[in-house]
Amino acid sequence: MKVGAIFPQTEIGIDTGAIREYAQATESLGFDFLLAFDHVLGANAETHTELTGPYRHDDMFHEPFVLFGYLAAVTSRVELATGIIILPQRQTALVAKQAAVVDVLSEGRLRLGIGVGWNPVEFEALGETWNNRGSRSEEQIDVMRQLWTNELITYEGRWHKITDAGILPLPVQRPIPVWLGGSSDRTVRRIVGIGDGWILTGRPDDRAKHLVDKLHAYAAEAERDIGSIGLEGWVSASIGGPDEWAKEAEDWKALGATHVSLNTMRADLADPAAHMEAIRQFKEATAGL
């Protein structure tokens, strides 16, 4: 099982030295990947009382593609994963281009996690449609894969039209692996149909087992090899300490997870150094996995 760290977006700050040091620490500690969350805009909680998601306007997020362009230059081995880019609030060809360039600059180290989001305020501000975001994301993935693997494409779908055009540079990985986040029934079917992997949030409990069983059932129904679908679980540093984190990682592995990562945000860690110490303890505790 591959072990990763979740970049502490909301708590790392804007000190480029600290950002560089954190990324290089993940590599020197032997982590397999570094995963970053995504939000373009945060909504004011006082105005948008209807929103149920965890982030608001005072939660800071570095834009993942820009961040990874920087991290590609200061690391050499660790995989860079988005977890998740909210794909349907973005222009598809532009995402394909950005991802391809990150993959080139990192020499083939990008894993693109995508999802459909929970914040309609972002969609409104970015000029994209909220209500069709799930089905539209399926076509987006198809368009991106064609752009990543062909010099020129002609494409006419429900939401996209490209006439004899392409992106350069093409990525190192052709195509870049696309993992999906979410837990709805439609998402699980989407993962089986077009996903390279699944980023499953929450704890490795009965809910997670039920969802993984559903994934297996849908894969069997579609005659897809379950071994071709990666599964990533997250461990929260806010719950317990290294022993508990290691136990949760083991539980994820028992559920069939191919990847597990530690989220150190909202764990009352004082500064970037404390985040680095937490991931060091996690890596040490999970050394036998």
Would the pLDDT of 52 be above 90? no
Residue 126: Cβ within 10 Å count: 14
Burial of 227 (0-12, 13-18, 19+ CB in 10 A): exposed
Q: Class for domain 2-285, per CATH?
A: alpha beta
Parse the chain into domains and list their residue ranges.
Answer: 2-285
pLDDT in tens, 87-116: 999 999 999 999 999 999 999 999 999 999
pLDDT in tens, 259-288: 999 999 999 999 999 999 999 999 999 998
Q: Is the dihedral of CA 241, 211, 39, 42 positive or negative?
A: negative
pLDDT in tens, 200-240: 999 999 999 999 999 999 999 999 999 999 999 999 999 99
**Nearest Cα residue to 204 out of 143, 241, 246:** 246
* Residue recorded with tokens 């508990």: 244
What is the full DSSP assignment across 16-28? HHHHHHHHHHHHH
